[in-house]
């Protein structure tokens, strides 16, 4: 199992390779909403005091309502989904894990670090299963998650664009952990806020792993406000769909073929992904290519004022 990390971002690398300054670049290499949730006023106490149990409970209650988490399922706020991904393999004794790919590679790296071995196919005796839903980078949606593993992880970091596809409440709870992220749909990657939802025994073990104050006071305040604002969420889903369609039209007119994605990122098949990345980089647009495909190019969505730069680069 590979422990190689390959991610978007890294504008410093783009600058070193292609020139310019950070402020010259349009970073479309990630799947972060370019129009983030507007930050509410943050009380001074959120910065000065340790988070209290009331604020933590309020965030959990709003998350439970927003994601329609059933009674009997536990929910835990964490300092980003990545903090949970790193700890989940320690919830069970090492064995075989099935992670259908290509997919987000932090899961494989975390299980490898904990001594797990990769199972090549479902039904091959996997002790754990990890499904990224929708998948990154191709947007693949998994309608039915196979049961039978001691530990089932469903990473729904990108699922808030399509809440009807969520597996929250649809699965048998024993051994199940579903992950949510605030860095994608809400566009607040720097907030470092994520959630684990599912089997109370497993979630409680994660709670003890993270310690008594896993989420900062400002993140609790922002997360609570955002989860109590379904109007923003609904309007954002409509805008993302409109912009994803616009990006598809722009790229297909330039010769790319739509291969998959979500409304937060689009995956295209092109004749030469590295050449496309270099071409866009000359216009100071940073894109994502993959070590396992020389024809896949992934783009996030431009912000409202960024379309002209992308069009010029293409």
CATH code where residue 15 lies? 3.90.1150.10
**What pLDDT is attached to residue 145?**
81
Q: Do the domain assignments include residue 305?
A: yes
Scanning the structure block, which residue is given the tokens 């209650």?
A: 61
Predicted confidence (pLDDT) at residue 3 exceeds the cutoff of 60: no
Domain boundary among 183, 198, 228: 228
Q: Are both 242 and 293 inside the same structural domain?
A: yes
Q: What local confidence, expressed as pLDDT, does residue 172 receive?
A: 74
Q: pLDDT over 70 for what percent of the chain?
A: 96
> Do residue 186 and residue 53 come from a single domain?
yes
Q: Can you read off the two tokens belonging to residue 161?
A: 């664009």
Whether 259 and 189 map to the same domain: the answer is no
Contacts 24+ apart (CB under 8 A), 45-54: 45/217, 46/216, 46/217, 46/218, 46/220, 46/221, 47/217, 47/218, 49/217, 50/213, 50/217, 51/213, 51/215, 51/216, 51/217, 51/220
pLDDT for position 8 = 66
Nearest CA-CA partner of 132 in 97, 102, 173: 102
Answer yes or no: is pLDDT of 314 > 90. yes
pTM above 0.85, yes or no: yes
96 with 175, same domain? yes
pLDDT per position as a tens digit, 48-92: 999 999 999 999 999 999 999 999 999 999 999 999 999 999 999
Q: What gap in Å lies between CA 20 and CA 151, rounded to an integer? A: 46
Residue 1 belongs to some domain of the structure: no
- pLDDT at residue 168 above 60? yes
pLDDT score for 281: 96
Percent of the chain with pLDDT over 90: 88
pLDDT digit string, tens, across residues 12-29: 888 888 899 999 999 999
The pair of three-digit structure tokens given for residue 158, joined into one six-digit string: 């990108």
Domain limits at 235? 11-36+231-313
Mark whether 134 and 250 lie in a shared domain: no
Predicted confidence at residue 143, as pLDDT, reads: 87
- The encoded tokens of residue 167 equal 């597996």
- Assess whether 24 and 111 both reside in one domain: no
> Within a domain: residue 5?
no
Task: Specify whether 136 is located in the same domain as 274.
Answer: no
Q: Tell whether 118 and 160 lie within a shared domain.
A: yes
How many folded domains does the chain comprise? Answer: 2
Let me know if residue 141 belongs to a domain: yes
Domain containing 187 — which CATH number? 3.40.640.10
Q: What is the pLDDT of residue 104?
A: 94
In terms of domains, do 251 and 305 share one? yes
Domain membership flag for residue 4: no
Number of Cβ within 10 Å of residue 81's Cβ equals 24
Boundary residue ending a domain (181, 207, 228): 228
Mean pLDDT of 32-50: 96
pLDDT at 1 (0 to 100)? 44
Instruction: Band the pLDDT of 123: cuts 50, 70, 90.
Output: low
What's the pLDDT at 124? 64
Q: Is 131 exposed, middle or buried (0-12, 13-18, 19+ CB in 10 A)?
A: buried
4 has pLDDT over 60: no
Calculate the average pLDDT of the chain: 94
Last residue of a domain, one of 174, 196, 228: 228
Residue-wise pLDDT for 268-306, tens only, equals 999 999 999 999 999 999 999 999 999 999 999 999 999
Is 241 among the domain residues? yes
Mean per-residue pLDDT for 188-216?
96
**Does 222 lie in the same domain as 235?**
no
pLDDT higher than 90, residue 144: no
In a domain, 107, yes or no: yes
214 and 289 belong to one structural domain? no
Residues 173, 291: one domain? Answer: no
Residue 136 lies in a domain: yes
Average pLDDT over every residue of 192-210: 97
Mean pLDDT of 164-179: 90
């Amino acid at each position: 199992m590979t422990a190689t990390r390959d991610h978007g971002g890294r504008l410093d690398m783009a600058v070193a390779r292609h020139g310019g300054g950070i402020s010259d670049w349009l970073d479309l290499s990630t799947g972060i909403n370019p129009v983030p949730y507007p930050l509410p006023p943050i009380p001074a106490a959120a910065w000065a005091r340790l988070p209290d149990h009331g604020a933590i409970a309020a965030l959990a209650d709003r998350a439970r309502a927003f994601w329609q988490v059933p009674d009997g399922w536990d929910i835990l706020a964490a300092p980003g989904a990545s903090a949970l991904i790193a700890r989940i393999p320690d919830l069970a004794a090492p064995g075989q894990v099935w992670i259908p790919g290509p997919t987000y590679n932090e899961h494989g790296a975390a299980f490898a670090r904990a001594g797990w071995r990769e199972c090549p196919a479902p039904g091959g005796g996997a002790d754990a299963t990890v499904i990224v839903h929708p998948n990154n980078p191709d947007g693949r949606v998994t309608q039915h998650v196979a049961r039978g593993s001691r530990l089932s992880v469903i990473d729904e970091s990108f699922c808030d664009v399509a809440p009807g596809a969520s597996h929250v409440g649809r699965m048998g709870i024993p051994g199940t952990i579903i992950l949510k992220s605030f860095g994608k749909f809400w566009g607040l990657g720097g907030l470092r806020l994520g959630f684990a939802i599912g089997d109370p025994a497993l979630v409680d073990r994660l709670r003890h792993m993270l310690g008594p104050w896993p989420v900062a006071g400002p993140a609790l305040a922002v997360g609570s406000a955002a989860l109590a604002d379904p109007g923003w969420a609904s309007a954002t889903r409509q805008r993302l769909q409109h912009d994803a369609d616009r990006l598809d039209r722009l790229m297909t007119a330039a010769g790319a073929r739509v291969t998959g994605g979500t409304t937060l990122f689009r995956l295209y098949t092109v004749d030469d992904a590295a050449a496309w990345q270099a071409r866009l980089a000359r216009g100071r647009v940073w894109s994502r290519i993959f070590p396992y495909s020389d024809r896949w190019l992934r783009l996030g969505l431009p912000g409202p004022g960024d379309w002209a730069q992308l069009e010029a680069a293409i």
